[in-house]
Chain A
Amino acid sequence: MMQELFFSFELVKYGIISAILLGISLSFTSPFLILRKNSLFPHALTHILFFAIIVVSTFEAKIPDPLVYPVIFIIAMLSASTILLLKYIKFYEDTATAIITHFFLALGLIVAAKTSQYNAKLLSYLFGSVVGLTKKDLYQSVFLLVLTLLLFYKFYPLWVAQTTDESLPGINFKVANFFYLFLLTFQILVGIKIMGILLVSAFFVISGAVALKFSRGFMPTTGITAILNTLAILGGFIFSFLWDLPFSGAVVVFMGLYLVGFSIFRLVAEGK
């Protein structure tokens, strides 16, 4: 049994290590989303990226390989700016997020249907595939983690400021917010391959929310989120091996156990 597990790991090692690096990277951004009551924002971004990926894959043959990701990225960032338009016409943040989610999912499906991409490839976008990841994807995750650490070091005081202040004299949040959006988009782009469009946003919420319940200080929150994400990936891998489950689904179900555990802990603690 153990031998089989190690053999399975050998097959998906790039995927699992990439996922762990992604999980650590997300622990630096996800607590801010929860504190700013914006947990659904990554969900909207995944749908925007879905649209961008479908559009780019229509013309993939005409785009040189190194430019594929930048083009997806640019389309996604431009599409994400429609949120600003919705904010301008004064929709609530969650309403704007919901509108964007549905709108870009609809656009993506229409483009997929009209360009004959309604196939297995579409399913791999939707649900991810840990098996298909290569050394190149691993390097991408390493790059993402390094970039996350650099941007976190640079902008942490301004990101954290927005959980305690709407505005501050002499401080312009625009640049910090742009890089936050940039980083989220990049994290989701990397995460989509592993977890799929439908489940990658769970990574941004569950572990972070649990960590925020009992950690003291921002860095400990980040550390606990990173540990919970890593455990979920390893646990999800074992679940998917034991019961032949899809990896992304198994990871999210494993994260669900945190919530069950936390609820039991609360009940016991309050019972005392």
Chain B
Amino acid sequence: METPLIQVKNLYFSYEGHVVLKDISLEVKQGDFLAIIGPNGGGKSTLIKCVLGILKPLKGEVFLWGEPLDKFKDWYKIGYVPQRAGEIVDYLNPITVKEFLKLPEKWYGKKIKKELFEQLLDKFGVRSFLNKRLGELSYGQLQRAYIIRALVLEPELLILDEPSVGLDFFSQDAFYQLLGEFYQRGLTIVLITHETWLLTKWVNKVACVNQRLFFHGTHESFCTLSTKKEFFSDYHKIEHIHW
């Protein structure tokens, strides 16, 4: 049987006494394009942070490539773009985009392939500001830099937490086209998003998280659900999602 890249078993997380995640179990297999959707504050980002070992769950287990989280060593296999990634960058930050993109090499001890690096620069249109300081970039440019940085070590799994926030419509469209291209080349993708209408072309799995896991299945089965509102009893903006 194929080992899932991510396996979450009965995960609970609480913050300052408030339950954020309750009994979450899910799997991500190779070739999945999983969209995690749910209301703001529903625990989507927290779930991902627990999966990546950034937050420690109250209860439950996480396995990456079949290994328990604390034993997992091959972190270069995962590319991660956090939510509102560029916000932490100060306008004085002198690191050039080129330096920034090469940092994963030092963090994870794996060489970046020159050809891939060049390809990514062209695909994401970053070459024109490669020697600029991070502090000089616009939010959209920074966002692109974070996405390339997540891809430079040729990960098998890409996790993106609302990556298109702050991008204009055309940039969003181009970004999702590119994402689809990487998916077709064999990259497994987990995407936290509110923009489900943009993803129907590529997404093959959906997980609905609002403290609990309300739904986890194929995109088709999600689309055929007749009573979607019951999955988000307190998700009052449910009508705005285009199924």
Alpha-carbon gap, A34 to B94, bound state (A): 11
Q: Does B181 contact A (CB under 8 A)?
A: no
Q: Does A242 contact B (CB under 8 A)?
A: no
Question: Are A216 and B80 CB-contacts (below 8 A) given A164-B88, A167-B54, A170-B72?
Answer: no
- How many B residues have CB within 8 A of the partner chain? 28
Q: Which residues of B contact A215 (CB under 8 A)?
A: 94
Q: Does B75 contact A (CB under 8 A)?
A: yes
Q: Verify B103–A169 contact, CB threshold 8 A.
A: no
Question: Are A220 and B94 CB-contacts (below 8 A) given A164-B89, A165-B82?
Answer: yes
Alpha-carbon gap, A156 to B106, bound state (A): 9
Q: 8 tightest CB-CB pairs across the interface, nearest first?
A: A170-B75, A157-B106, A169-B52, A167-B54, A212-B92, A221-B94, A217-B96, A215-B94
Question: Are A169 and B80 CB-contacts (below 8 A) given A31-B94, A164-B88, A164-B89?
Answer: yes
Q: Does A2 contact B (CB under 8 A)?
A: no
Alpha-carbon gap, A164 to B94, bound state (A): 11
Q: Which of B80, B82, B92, B134 has the most CB of A within 10 A?
A: B92
Q: Which residues of A contact B119 (CB under 8 A)?
A: none
Chain A interface size, as a band, is 20 to 34
Q: Verify A216–B133 contact, CB threshold 8 A.
A: yes
Q: Verify A37–B94 contact, CB threshold 8 A.
A: no
Alpha-carbon gap, A105 to B112, bound state (A): 50
Q: Does B223 contact A (CB under 8 A)?
A: no
Nearest A residue to B142, CB-CB? A164
Q: Does B122 contact A (CB under 8 A)?
A: no
Q: Does B128 contact A (CB under 8 A)?
A: no
Alpha-carbon gap, A212 to B100, bound state (A): 16
Interface residues of B (CB under 8 A from A): 49, 52-54, 72-73, 75, 78, 80, 82, 85, 88-90, 92-96, 99-100, 103, 106-108, 131, 133-134
Known: A169-B75, A169-B78, A217-B94. 20 other contacts (CB 8 A): A35-B90, A35-B92, A157-B106, A158-B107, A160-B95, A161-B103, A163-B90, A164-B88, A164-B100, A165-B82, A166-B82, A166-B88, A167-B49, A168-B54, A170-B73, A170-B108, A212-B92, A216-B96, A218-B94, A221-B94
Q: What's the A-B contact tally at a CB cutoff of 8 Å?
A: 73
Interface residues of A (CB under 8 A from B): 31, 34-35, 37, 156-158, 160-161, 163-171, 209, 211-213, 215-218, 220-221
Smallest CB separation, B45 vs chain A (Å): 11
Q: Which of B72, B93, B99, B106 has the most CB of A within 10 A?
A: B93
Q: Which residues of A contact B99 (CB under 8 A)?
A: 217-218
Q: Verify B95–A218 contact, CB threshold 8 A.
A: yes
Q: Which residues of B contact A170 (CB under 8 A)?
A: 52-53, 72-73, 75, 78, 108
Q: Which residues of A contact B100 (CB under 8 A)?
A: 164
Nearest A residue to B92, CB-CB? A212
